[in-house]
Amino acid sequence: MVLGLTIETCNSNGEDWKCEIGKVCECTIEGDCTDGNLLVYNGSTSTLLCAPPIIKTSGKIDWDFCMSPGEWVTVIADCEEGQSEREIVMLLKPTATTSTSTTSITTSTSTTTTTIPEEAKEECPYECCVDEPGYEDKYCKSGYVCVDNKCVLEEEEGGKEGRSFVLPLILAFLILIIVSSVFLLKKKAPKTYEELYKKWRKKK
């Protein structure tokens, strides 16, 4: 054993002295090591599994090139200067990983816009046109409204509307008077021949 030549740690997943089967296990060497190899033994036996080279301060164990190890292995740094102390490395089984792939299907919808040309309209032949089919709009000057293709003063048009509104009211009022008069006459008139006879008998 050479004083100052040691194996600081071995790991494959960041946890000291634990390596996972299937992943490269890297051992860090401290001290001078010339033309060295990392001797890997199966457990505490003298069965040598593999001896990867030590490059600078690192020796990497590739389990594909080592014979089937057990639950743990013993490692020794073997250099021209001598050997390091034995270190024990625990072996972990590979972690099962489940990968889920998601397939995304994108459906593109194309929309076709059809432009329908507007119907050609003729010039208005009247004094005014508003929303007349087949004719362009032609408005009256300020203060006038278009009625039956003629420009009429707004006041006159308003008067016509007022008169047309009052006339039905007058008719309804007259009908009400006539109905009331008939009802009153029927109420005053004798209903039967006997009542009429009694009425004339009293007068005699």
Residue 132 in this model has a pLDDT that exceeds 90: no
Amino acid at 193: Y
Enumerate the H helices of the chain as residue ranges: 154-188, 193-203
pTM of the model: 0.46
In the prediction, which pLDDT does 158 show? Answer: 59
- Helix, strand or coil, per DSSP, at residue 176: helix
- Spans of all domains in the chain: 6-92, 144-203
Measured CA to CA, the distance from residue 90 to residue 34 in angstroms comes to 27
Q: Are 79 and 32 in contact (CB under 8 A)?
A: yes
For the domain covering 6-92, report its CATH number.
2.60.40.10
**Residue 184 binned pLDDT confidence (cut-offs 50, 70, 90):** confident
Q: Are 18 and 67 in contact (CB under 8 A)?
A: no
DSSP 129: B
Residue 42 in this model has a pLDDT that exceeds 50: yes
Residue 188 in this model has a pLDDT that exceeds 90: no
Task: Give the DSSP letter string of 69-94.
Answer: --SEEEEEEEETTEE---EEEEEEPP
Q: CB under 8 Å to 113, separation ≥6 — which residues?
A: none
Identify the burial level of 93 via C-beta atoms within 10 angstroms of its C-beta, where 0-12 means exposed, 13-18 middle and 19 or more buried: exposed
Measured CA to CA, the distance from residue 57 to residue 34 in angstroms comes to 10
Distant-in-sequence contacts of 196-204, Cβ < 8 A, 24+ apart: none
Measured CA to CA, the distance from residue 98 to residue 178 in angstroms comes to 98
Measured CA to CA, the distance from residue 67 to residue 191 in angstroms comes to 134
**Residue 105 binned pLDDT confidence (cut-offs 50, 70, 90):** very low
Q: Are 33 and 79 in contact (CB under 8 A)?
A: yes
Measured CA to CA, the distance from residue 65 to residue 98 in angstroms comes to 27
Tokens of 197: 């006879």
